[in-house]
Structure 1
Amino acid sequence: MSHPIHALYANLSARADRPALSDGDTVVTHGELIALVERAAADLAARGLGPRDRIGLCAANSWRHVVAYLAILRAGAVWTPLNPRNGPSLNGEFQRRAGLSLTLHDAASVGSLGSTARPLPLEAWLDGLADGVPPPIHDDPAAPFALKFTGGSTGVPKGVVQSQASGAAALASLSAFYDFTADDVNLAVAPLTHGSSHYILPVLAAGGAHVLLPTPDRAAILSELKSRVSVTFLPPTLIALLMAEADFAPADFPRLRHVTYSAAPMSPARIEQAIARFGPVLSTLYGQTEAPMTVTGLSPAEMTDPALRASVGRLFPGTPVAVLTASGVAGHGEGEVLVGGDLARTEYLDAPELTAASRHEGWLKTGDLGRLDKDGLLTLIGRSKDLIITGGYNVYPAEVEAALTAHPAVREACAFALPDEVWGERLEAAVAVDAPFADDAALKAFVRDAIGPVRTPKRLHLMPALPRNPVGKVVRGDVRDLLYPVDPQPLEALR
């Protein structure tokens, strides 16, 4: 049984009458959910859709979104998530590149779809389902399970085809990391078009439930966290906004056991603050679209150790990780992070040359640089493509950003390079601060003391917030272009 959808049916008799989805006043039990999913999957099959057909899904978080997602998987088709926040131009381009057979969407996302060959409104579709028998589950570890587009933080978004084996590996690792039970309630507020979707099946398989929020309303999030929620997955920026929203303490969250962040780092000061405010429940996961969610993880218990917080956690048992050092592949040391096993059974859409270039002796090259110790603890130090050579020295923006965010007044930072006649590349950084600085000299001195003068930016740009792309990522080139709209000389010309 290779297809992750089998998890939907695990131990069903014991949980059929338990709540599975809660969306405002709508509550769907596990039994009702499976019945809906099967009717929807049967309808997709009746429309001629099945294995290897790509079906888009563009919608805010809702019970309908979850049903549609599961129905696509149950029909054996390839789930292709489209974030409504992308806007019509980008979503239209993604649909064209994906060659979608159908695009499901909610009413609120019509304006975000862009050019769509075969749209189908979720509301009318699910409300009009007839009885039907879904096709047999198509088990093939190598078969495509999902098609996702990368966040584009380093350039044009790439389409990544994830296999059934990859999806099953992520599911197994998440189940082990969280040890979900029937008492767990997951708050799905991060978009289900991204990492939050990975929680749907493992929570349901354990008999737990999902609370769906369509928007990151801070008051609603805090209300849910204080009442029934035990697990939630949030970006670091939203965790910071929640802490600024209201006064609360660990005693306010009687059921909470995991507040997990991913996709971006969190500064040591912010981690300390989050643990003090939410309790010892903070955890983190490291993954990427090409190796989704579960390359490494740091549990709440481990996060309480300040010595471990700079890392992205320990390896999952079923996913081999190594580093590509100057002397070759090694089980520990410093170099480009490599991922193996089923989790990395992915490929780039219509780009065999990119897929081949991303592999080394069968390993997936993540593009991340890291230090892997003998105990399986991984610390990221930068991106291989982000290398800045200034004055003949190699500098990775991530280490500069880590030094800046270690300052208690800094929320986040983005280091970048500009052409420079003297230095070759001049290191600068945009910094989002909680309090204004009359003079940035003190902040520069703080960084210089931490990592030395070579890695200290020549100029700091103090800002209230950093710009983000539609999926919420800070894009280095966009930050540089905002501060320097006219580049006198292409940066690549100096490389």
Structure 2
Amino acid sequence: MGGLGAWLKQAEPVLRHSRAGVVTERGRHPWPSLLARAERLAAGLPDAPYGWVVPADGGERSVVGLLALGLLDPAPRWVLGDPAVWAADGHAPLGDGELTAAGPQAAPPPEVAGPTYATASSGTTGRPKLLFGRPHAIPAAVRLYADGMPEYAAAEVFATCSAIDFAAAFYMVAAPAMALGRDLVLFRPGSWATAVPELAGRPGVCLAPPALAALGARTAAGRHDFRGTSFVPAGGGLTPERAGRIRAGFPGCDFLTMLGSTETGLVTVGRTVRADGHVGAPLPGKPVWLEDVGPDGVGTLWTRGPDTRFAVTGGRLTTGPDGAVTTGDLAHRADGGGGFVLDGRADDLIKVDGVSVYPREITAAVRALPGVRDASVSVDRSRTGDRLTVIVMGTAAVTEDRVRDACARLPVPVTPHRVLCRPADETAYDARGKVLR
């Protein structure tokens, strides 16, 4: 577990002398001024038996809360999420709302000792959960990314339109910006005007769902040079067609296509946009391997590293010896040893009308329809048979009949219980960039 002192100790002098800062719709907030606010907050913190909750609203106050906790020695426990869900009853937020005392529902499993941090799931299943890691591993995770991806080492700006309790936004954007003292741009999905001037003409990394990045391309409108900007597709779904629309508005930009999850952290990374399920090669310095490989070469992906999680509430985390972890992603090695091709996830397999199918096969078929900008599949397992809802964002040309026809033409035909067609704009997504259901 390592030392239990301040986990941001090495970053503190970098931030104190940095000319960068946090950029929101409210303006620019330099790192030295945010650090001073955090030091005042940390100096007056009372005891909190279950640790602290940091609000994940995307404002600078969330960053101040993270900085304050990172400066405390010994390090406390903390949760990045909604205080209304994870805070103790009757405890008012401190300062300008940067921190709230956590309640017992935010504690890790009883067998877990020492400082922990957690990001909260979105609770789409109706049961929000926390996934726990060690805060002292966060700097090591940032070093792993900077050493393994030149784009991260060179980035002057990290940006995201996802709430920072979304694990990818925290790990891939917020943590690197804090640890390296670079610009951190936090903006709402409909406010690309905040991000575009910060990304233009600078090396940077922007994490956004592909459908929202395509909407951002309308704001950018090809008016600037974005060579050096690397888009990270949050949640997958980046197709060659969608990449073309993003590049039309952000000329010169590139893509870092990644496979990862809340449980495993970043697993693989690629730099080409493909439609065949190829998810890139293992991140340099992070072991990735297949277990339980079948005759067809398909096995379960496993990994270990400083960005993985080791405990969970409200669910089960599949772990192995030496900190190895998996989410049940199924994959096979690409021809020639060039990374992995994703085949689905073991627990994603559903049965519709007695037919076994993976949701990603359905979304791929629907996204291929003219006029479709994004698609999502949800499954109701509360009844005897799985009931499937397909949600589609696109133009008026996208109709329920066309979606049903695409599902019927799958190699294993599927009949959705419901099809919902919506306009392709930012109102179709929540604060984490996930499709609203």
Instruction: Give the structure-2-normalised TM-score.
Output: 0.77
**1:170 equivalent among 131, 141, 160:** 141
Q: Does 1:261 align with 2:233?
A: yes
Q: Does 1:291 align with 2:264?
A: yes
Mapped partners of 2:387, 2:188: distance in 1: 42
Shift of 1:71: 1.0
Mapped partners of 2:10, 2:150: distance in 1: 16
Shift of 1:463: 0.4
Shift of 1:223: 4.0
Matches within 5 A, 1:70-219: 70-75=67-72, 76-83=75-82, 91-95=83-87, 116-123=89-96, 143-154=114-125, 156-164=127-135, 166-176=137-147, 177-180=149-152, 184-194=156-166, 195-198=168-171, 199-213=173-187, 216-219=190-193
Unaligned runs of 5+ in 2: 100-111
Task: Classify 1:56/1:32 alpha carbon distance in 2 versus 1 (closer, same or farther; 3 Å).
Answer: same
Query: 8 Å contact 1:22–1:212 — kept in the other structure?
Result: yes
Shift of 1:342: 3.4
Aligned partner of 2:303 in structure 1 is 339
Which amino acid counterpart does residue 79 of structure 1 have in structure 2?
A: W
Unaligned runs of 5+ in 1: 84-90, 101-115, 127-140, 480-495
Aligned partner of 1:282 in structure 2 is 255
Query: 8 Å contact 1:145–1:163 — kept in the other structure?
Result: yes
Q: Deviations over 1:431-484 (max 9, x none)?
A: 33323246835x6666666x52x1444677250159666644347xxx5xxxxx
Mapped partners of 1:468, 1:18: distance in 2: 33
Mapped partners of 1:25, 1:401: distance in 2: 37
SS, match of residue 463 in structure 1: strand
Aligned partner of 2:364 in structure 1 is 402
Q: Say which structure is richer in helix.
A: 1
Q: Does 1:389 align with 2:351?
A: yes
Mapped partners of 1:185, 1:230: distance in 2: 5
Task: Classify 1:371/1:271 alpha carbon distance in 2 versus 1 (closer, same or farther; 3 Å).
Answer: farther
Task: Classify 1:10/1:178 alpha carbon distance in 2 versus 1 (closer, same or farther; 3 Å).
Answer: farther
Mapped partners of 2:399, 2:135: distance in 1: 54
Q: Deviations over 1:16-50 (max 9, x none)?
A: 15233345676554444444433433333xx235x
Mapped partners of 1:426, 1:62: distance in 2: 38
SS, match of residue 328 in structure 2: strand
Which amino acid counterpart does residue 387 of structure 1 have in structure 2?
A: L
Aligned partner of 2:106 in structure 1 is none
SS, match of residue 176 in structure 2: helix
Which amino acid counterpart does residue 398 of structure 1 have in structure 2?
A: R
Shift of 1:184: 0.5
Query: 8 Å contact 2:293–2:300 — kept in the other structure?
Result: no
Q: Does 1:313 align with 2:280?
A: yes
SS, match of residue 440 in structure 1: helix
Which amino acid counterpart does residue 47 of structure 2 have in structure 1?
A: G
Q: Deviations over 1:93-119 (max 9, x none)?
A: 433xxxx5xxxxxxxxxxxxxxx4322
Task: Classify 1:93/1:65 alpha carbon distance in 2 versus 1 (closer, same or farther; 3 Å).
Answer: closer
Which amino acid counterpart does residue 42 of structure 2 have in structure 1?
A: A
Aligned partner of 1:8 in structure 2 is 11
Greater Cα radius of gyration, structure 1 or 2: 1
Mapped partners of 1:42, 1:418: distance in 2: 48
Q: Does 1:413 align with 2:375?
A: yes
Aligned length: 410
SS, match of residue 79 in structure 2: strand
**1:221 equivalent among 195, 205, 224:** 195
Task: Classify 1:23/1:233 alpha carbon distance in 2 versus 1 (closer, same or farther; 3 Å).
Answer: same
**Cα RMSD, aligned residues only:** 4.0
Aligned partner of 2:58 in structure 1 is 61
Shift of 1:366: 0.4
SS, match of residue 96 in structure 2: helix
SS, match of residue 123 in structure 1: coil
Q: Deviations over 1:334-383 (max 9, x none)?
A: 2333222333342013x7x834xx23456323033333436362333333
Instruction: Give the structure-1-normalised TM-score.
Output: 0.69
Task: Classify 1:196/1:360 alpha carbon distance in 2 versus 1 (closer, same or farther; 3 Å).
Answer: closer
Query: 8 Å contact 2:207–2:232 — kept in the other structure?
Result: yes
**1:242 equivalent among 197, 212, 216:** 216
